[in-house]
Amino acid sequence: MMLRSIDELVGVLREQASRCAELQQAAEREYQALCHRRLDVMRAAASEKEAILQGLNGLEQRRAALVERLAAEWQLPAAGLTMESLAQRLPGAQAGRLQRCRDELRERLERLQQVQRRSEALCRGAIDMLQGAHRLLKGFWVGAPVYRGDGGYPAAGVSGHIVRGEV
């Protein structure tokens, strides 16, 4: 029973690593779309990422159930059972397979985090620029006269909009 659970766990971890690679590719496409301001590509990549994340959620539930099953077999608390502690309890070949899967999954997650950090930095930079432009424009609006529709200057000292009620 335990060996079958370990084989299932290795299979789930491999599938998670594969899905993380797909997620990284979608995140790369999203980043490139952000760089080139391609809204249609961003939307498609975001939808793809959402579908992959849903699949990963299901795989994570399977992984957690397998870890709980193994913890019950070894009469250990599941919360304290890590991939490292699992590998320490297994014979050499199985421990090696589990560690290789864990390492591959870690590597893929690190790559995904790098892509996400680049996208986040790009978005934060754009937000900072927009906020700066907004502050700059706000400074121009303070005390700015409102022009009439015919282009004339009103006699009263009204302020707020720059031209014809449009900002």
CATH code of 26's domain: 1.20.58.300
pLDDT at 1: 62
pTM of the model: 0.74
Q: How far apart are CA 107 and CA 84, in angstroms?
A: 16
Residue among 8, 7, 19, 45 nearest 104 (CA)? 19
Helix (H, G, I), strand (E, B) or coil at 166: strand
- The mean per-residue pLDDT over the stretch 49-70 comes to 95
The answer to whether residue 140 sits within a structural domain is no
The answer to whether residue 151 sits within a structural domain is no
The answer to whether residue 161 sits within a structural domain is no
Average pLDDT, the chain: 85
pLDDT at 164: 52
Is it the case that residue 152 has pLDDT exceeding 90? no
Q: How far apart are CA 82 and CA 94, in angstroms?
A: 15
Supply the range of the domain harboring residue 54. 2-132
pLDDT at 84: 86
Least confident of 57-66, 70-79, 127-136, 146-155: 146-155
